[in-house]
Structure 1
Amino acid sequence: MIRSWRRPEWTTLAWWRHPVGPIHAAALVLSLGRGAWFTCWAMFFIKSVGLTNAQFGGGITLAGVAGLALGAPLGYVADRVGTRETLIVLTLVQGLAILSYAVVRDFWAIVAVTCVMIAAERSTPAIRVAVISGLTPPGDERLNSISTARVMTQGGIVVGALFGGLVLSADSRVGYLSLIVLYGVANLFAAALLRRVPHVRSLADRKARRGVLVLRDRPFLAATLLNGLLALNWGMLDSGVPLWISAHTRAPLWVMGLLMGFNAVVIVLFQNRVSRAGATVAGAGRLGLWSGLLLAVSCGVFAATYHGSGTYVLVVLFLAAVVHVVGELFFVGSGFGLSVGLAPQDAHGEYQGMFNTGQAAAMMLAPGAMTVMLVEGGRLGWLVLAVVYVVAGLGTVATARWALHARGIGDVTSDLEKV
């Protein structure tokens, strides 16, 4: 029997009044500003501030390293002092850092501000998941709330990017400065929204003392690494595919905008549904396997566009994008299920912070890796990337079983409540 269409819960006012409602509202506000800012920031620094391409690239790399290094420690601190309070502080810090771009001009000052901004921006999603985990019961409700945050973020980024495109077309310092103010104020407003979120009991509230747990959890560290390998699919679409289209096909570059828009719409429509299959650790492991296999297939389809032109290359690129986005949906659902399902109840900040480092590392390394593999390597590069995805997918399902066994749970279909 075909299930009738139901109105999404987030379209009702009652849903936004839930304890996690302000978290989603803040995520939406932040993503609107983020989508606009990151569409324009390269041109702002190069054309308006006067940095060279090398300075911009080097500064962003240093900032990425800072964000990578601080993710796990910030998660541990959040467990001790409060995940809600940490999320508010990170949002405020990010807003102030953004606003300071309007006045700083020195290269090293810009690098310092960018390191602070990127560290806060990259740490925020993990702490947000920790807050949601502390406010919702284990199982479907928790996973649905986390997945909805992803949907809100993706939708906001798309709308924000459209506005950023308008600022970019104007290419004026006034436009860039206006965007800086809007994004900075958006962060401050989001921090105000987060003050309405209930307090999540911390280790300090419990007067509990403990050391770092996650570094001793080998299955979780393995899952972090494997999920990071699958996270290359984000860099593959953001940087790899545009480079491939430009270097090895005769397709018009505007097709990339259509592919990105299609990707965003599919994620908004289907991420919640797909994520439900990761409501158990075993289910999340299987999603990781299917993600790896589908992403590998998408590599083969993208490779088939080599030197392609006309209608053929457009059709094949779209087919590849279809396979890729399904693999991405499974990857995200797998990551949610594993990172939340394997984390102790009083260590969500620490565990989410560590898990996020795998994805952050992938995003930092992806542009260079995609350039080497796809631009220099051609079709062989797609084969190498496909092998990486297959290995990561197989490793994910095996690691999920290992993690359950290590926790003394023999039935791999056990619900998250038993983990």
Structure 2
Amino acid sequence: MAAVEEQGVRWRPGWTRRVFWQAPVGPIYVATLVLSVGRGAWYACWALFFLRSVGLSPAEFGFGITAAGVVGMVAGMPFGYLADRLGPREVLIVVASVQGLATMSLALVGEFWSAMLVTTVVVTVERAAPGIRIAVLSGLTSGADRLKAISNCHVIKEVGAVAGSLVGIVVLVIDSRAGYVALVLFCGSANLAFALLMSRVPHVASLRERKVKRKVLVLRDRPFLVLTVLNGVLALNWGLLDSGLPVWLTTHTQAPPWTMGVLLAFNGVVIVLLLNRFTRAAATVRSAGRLSILAGGTLAVSCLLFATTDGRAGTVVIALLFAAAAVHTLGELFFVGSGYGLSVGMTREEAHGEYQGMFGVGEGAAMMLAPGLLTALLAGWGAPGWLLLGGLFLAAGAGLLLTSRWSIRLERQRATAEPRELQVVA
């Protein structure tokens, strides 16, 4: 009987065990859940907040968000370097606090320039935070536990975002100035709660405390810079479901409107259930590189399947869309797993902040370019646009495999010339 109970505990999901939340990184999980609920609510409503509550025109909204995105895109690496110098936990607390206060101040804006200024602050610190959070996780873990903790945070973020989107739906149904003001106060409070919870996380020693003086490393690490660019190309798959596919469904298919919502829900559930398993397969730079070519190839196949829905209607288009979405979700799992494995494995042990900040630049650029690029490719070019996008995914995946091998060779050469305390596991 005891053996049966022990086996049952072993197969329980990690989050159902007390030790999961009490580990050194446990407070980060709780903080991430709280933050992602706020962000999920915000992203369900943010466009209508600016258009209906602040009163911006669509052109003003588009320009302001794009400008804020450009500034935020380049902020990750400098903030990451600062986190390495001063301590990632402390810098993350400050960043989250600034974001919380700036988000709350959106309730006071009433015209374009003030909205743009505050939004730029919000987006800048928002883009910097994920890389610093990974630096905190990396400082508190090692080996297989490091990737596991990072993957757990990603899954928790997805769960929280879904819960938050339900709050956003309520705000959209109310559709009033009071509702939108309550929204920004709720989202800002989530950031401040995140900062408060992060204060319970153990301190990670900074370079200053270790009396280490060095220049920026990541800008001289050519394989990692190539990784940032190629991973950014694959990151376009995130924008595919959010912006590209809705445009495609309305302009090139006769799929019913509810199809998009079901596809998004299916994608979210599968990512939550399976991501940890795929991340475990990327435990080394070599295995993560192999996962990247699978990501590129699988995403390319999904593009081919999406292209076959051109002009389709009825049950045929629904079946094809679900088949394509299933393959896309598999490709996204390969992509996220390989991205974490490569970015963490190719990072110098003493520079997690600046490396993860730089890595986020590629993903930030992809998310900024995705709406316009995918609309032009898919709505403008039709099926050939899908083929071109699939070719980009395939080329990026193959390039990442070669980049991983390049990094392994350079690391071996560096280890021979200057042995380091901790080397990349290859």
Contact 1:40–1:167 (CA<8 Å) still a contact in 2?
yes
Deviation at 1:335, TM superposition (A): 0.7
2:418 corresponds in structure 1 to none
Matches within 5 A, 1:36-185: 36-137=41-142, 139-185=143-189
CA distance in 2, matches of 1:105, 1:40: 17
Letter in 2 for 1:88: I
Give the distance between the partners of 1:308 and 1:172, measured in 2 at CA. Answer: 39
* Structure 1 segment 296-335 matched on structure 2, within 5 A: 296-335=300-339
Q: Decide whether the 8 Å contact of 2:69 with 2:120 is kept in 1.
A: yes
Structure 2 Cα separation of the partners of residues 255 and 26 of structure 1: 33
Q: Structure 1 CA distance, aligned partners of 2:424 and 2:397? A: 25
* Whole-Å separation in 1 of the counterparts to 2:195 and 2:201: 10
Instruction: Give the residue type in structure 1 aligned to 2:286.
Output: A
**In structure 1, what is the equivalent of residue 364 of structure 2?**
360
**TM, length-normalised to structure 2:** 0.95
1:173-212 residue CA offsets vs partner (Å, 9 max, x unmatched) = 1111111111111111111100000110111101111001
Q: Tell me by how many angstroms 1:253 deviates.
A: 1.9
Asked whether the equivalents of residues 99 and 184 of structure 1 are also in contact (C-alpha less than 8 Å), the reply is: yes
**Structure 1 residues 122-162: Cα deviation after superposition (integer angstroms, max 9, x where no partner):** 1111111111000001x211100000000000111111112
Describe the SS at the equivalent of 2:394: helix
Find out whether 1:186 has 2:190 as its counterpart. yes
Tell me the residue number matched to 1:203: 207
CA contact (8 A) 1:242 1:253 kept: no
- How much has 1:370 moved relative to structure 2? 0.5
Once residues 414 and 290 of structure 2 are traced to their aligned partners in structure 1, the CA distance between those partners, rounded to angstroms, is 17
Classify the secondary structure of the residue corresponding to 1:102.
helix
The amino acid that maps onto 1:374 is L
Task: Identify the range of structure 1 (360-369 vs 100-109) with the bigger mean alpha-carbon deviation.
Answer: 100-109
Deviation of 1:10 after TM superposition, in Å, equals 1.7
Counterpart for residue 35 of structure 1: 40
> Which residue in 1 is equivalent to 2:4?
none
For 1:347 and 1:142, the matched residues in 2 are separated by: 15
The structure 2 residue matched to 1:7, chosen from 8, 12, 30, is 12
Q: Which of residues 385, 389, 394 is equivalent to 2:389?
A: 385
Q: Match of 2:363, as an amino acid?
A: Q
CA distance in 2: counterparts of 1:227 and 1:205, whole angstroms: 33
Which amino acid is 1:290 matched to?
A: L
Following superposition, the deviation at residue 106 of structure 1 comes to: 2.6
Aligned partner letter, 1:12: R
Correspondence for 1:287: 291
For the aligned residue pairs, the C-alpha RMSD in angstroms reads: 1.6
Partner SS state of residue 31, structure 1: helix
Equivalent residue for 2:251, pick from 247, 250, 254: 247
1:340-419 aligned at under 5 Å gives the runs 340-408=344-412, 418=425
Q: CA deviation at 1:409?
A: 6.7
Deviations 1:338-363 (A, max 9, x none): 11111111100000000010000000
Q: Which runs of 5+ in 1 are unaligned?
A: none
- Give the CA deviation at 1:28: 0.8
Please say if residues 76 and 212 of structure 1, whose CA atoms lie closer than 8 Å, have aligned partners that are also in contact: yes
Aligned length: 413
Equivalent position SS for 2:74: helix
Q: Secondary structure at the match of 2:108?
A: coil
**Match for residue 216 of structure 1?**
220
TM-score (norm 1): 0.96
1:410–1:324 Cα change, 3 Å: farther
CA deviation after TM superposition for structure 1 residue 418, in Å: 3.8
Deviation at 1:417, TM superposition (A): 5.6
Give deviations 1:212-268, integer Å, cap 9, x for gaps: 100110011111111000000001111000000011000112211111111110011
Kept in 2, the 8 Å contact 1:279–1:416? The answer is no
Take 2:301 and 2:94, find their aligned partners in 1: how far apart are those partners?
42
The residue type equivalent to 1:48 in the other structure is S
Q: 2:91, 2:75 → 1: CA distance?
A: 13
Q: Which runs of 5+ in 2 are unaligned?
A: 1-6, 416-421
- 1:128 is paired with a residue whose SS is helix
| 2:224 is the counterpart of 1:227 | no
Secondary structure in 1 matching 2:204? coil
1:131 is aligned with what amino acid? V
Q: Which amino acid aligns with 1:342?
A: M
Describe the shift of the 1:122–1:319 C-alpha distance in structure 2 as closer, same or farther (beyond 3 A).
same
Matched with 1:338 is 342
Code of the residue aligned with 1:396 in structure 2: it is: L
Cα displacement string for residues 311-368 of structure 1 (whole angstroms, at most 9, x for unaligned residues): 1111111111100011001100111011111111110000000001000000000000
